[in-house]
Chains A and B, each alone.
Chain A
């Protein structure tokens, strides 16, 4: 096993970084989209049921099936992998952002308006900062989930550690099959833990001391 890792260490490190890179980009994109959608949903309350339904249905689509559906549309490669990961990553952020933005005490919002803040100022200075701990929690869920989805995206030749897992599956019974699968899985877990740690740190730095749990 160590021999296996040692022989391929450069490649493993490269793929690990690629995996992290894919997930971080996709989650970042999803976070922006998720929060933006949530803002719209909160402003137009009629959309909330729709948003919840879409979130629920979206998350039930198996990742493998989605990759299969995207394949004929987008071809194979990193681009398709990005969209597959981003698709799932949006939902936890969207859901939490709607809950968080909606959960802000209405008297605070009225107080903000009463002090002469326009809608944009109310959103940026009051609503988003107060909802941020909840959005941040959604971001963490999204990041964790995306680590696994990104592994499946290797099916369309996406970058990252998923390739090892697929190689392990296809070579089952072969000499290095288990090694491949273990390296891929452990790699994903390690990247996921590190990413979560960084997100925790980000939370420490960005959630106001006045509302930290």
Chain B
């Protein structure tokens, strides 16, 4: 992890003895939940369906009103202001992005700033910045309608929309549930990368324990009635499950699970020759061959990887062509080794390109590096057990 942490822009959320009882139901959906979510952290709510995790989340922005108890954001009781004012200061991202289909991408993102009465120039600038932040080219995508986007792109716009008014707190309800596994992994990486820059307080509901381990600074595991089974860091949840319910839910703490904890950044990346779009192919090929490689990573003018062609694929061109970055499965440096293995399986290189903030190229992680790391983990675990 980086040492110079950017300033925390999030706010602390405190739930105090919060209860939600629906009329006509004997058991409370949420029964006396008390919880502090530290500013600038990602807290994952997980638990079996019907455990009250979504209800708990929606009480934070008052989409559901608690029957009793208090919720404070940044020390202020959420009932002190009007519900609409509150919600404009709390980002809300739900499954699939839930974009309004009759509005363009730009209009979707501009919604909350407009409700807050920002002036047009500021909104305009904000839309461009946010699209850039979530990795969509503003010139290309701002005027598109949601149905002209892929599921992953829609979800990115959904995240951008949640961030639009720069809220200190962002609530996410199964944000990546509707996309395929590779896209999901990418979106998760992007969220981590964005969070590294913004340091918001993010509360995220998921039913996927692997997602919770990967994204969460802390994990809240709930059982029926939103009773806290365990609330701790992923490391501690894996190493010391509070009880049988938790260990069942988490699954066995094997080395494989540990792979969900270890980040790509913990492994030394390999250097590979790079080339810029438009460079003379002859020089690039010569350079790569001199270093003993048979492929190059093609970067755009901002240092973002676009493609990873073999040299024989380049030989047909005079200049290095541009590639569609959508087709290159990259890994964020905060991706887990689990993700890394997944991504490698889809690559013909037996390795994966790793990116840092704003998709900057960092290096390449190879299959051997991951297996070496696994062996080392096993050795350490064995040594520990003795």
Contacts and interface: CB of A to CB of B under 8 A. Distances in A.
Given A107-B94, A116-B88, A210 B63 contact: no
Contacts, number: 60
B102 A210 contact: yes
Interface string A121-143: 10000100110000000000000
A210 B115 contact: no
| Interface residues on chain B, size class | 20 to 34
Interface in B148-181: 161, 171
Nearest to B104: A210
Contacts of A111: 92, 94, 98, 100
A186 to B, nearest CB: 39
A118 interface: yes
B147 interface: yes
A133 to B, nearest CB: 9
A113 interface: yes
B177 to A, nearest CB: 12
Interface string B330-352: 00000000000000000000000
A157 B223 CA distance: 75
Interface string A96-113: 000000000001101111
A130 B88 CA distance: 22
| Interface residues on chain A, size class | 10 to 19
Contact of A118 (B84, B100, B103): B84
Contacts of A113: 63, 87
A115 B102 contact: no
Contacts of B282: none
B372 interface: no
Interface string B84-125: 111110001011001011111000000110010000000000
Contact of B103 (A107, A121, A210): A210
B146 interface: yes
A118 to B, nearest CB: 5
A25 B202 CA distance: 54
Contacts of B98: 107-108, 111
B2 to A, nearest CB: 32
A131 to B, nearest CB: 10
Contacts of B61: 114
A46 interface: no
Given A107-B94, A111-B92, A210-B146, A116 B102 contact: no
Interface of A: 107-108, 110-118, 121, 126, 129-130, 208-211
A-B complex: 10 closest residue pairs judged by Cβ atoms: A210-B145, A116-B88, A208-B102, A116-B87, A114-B92, A111-B98, A116-B84, A129-B102, A210-B101, A210-B102
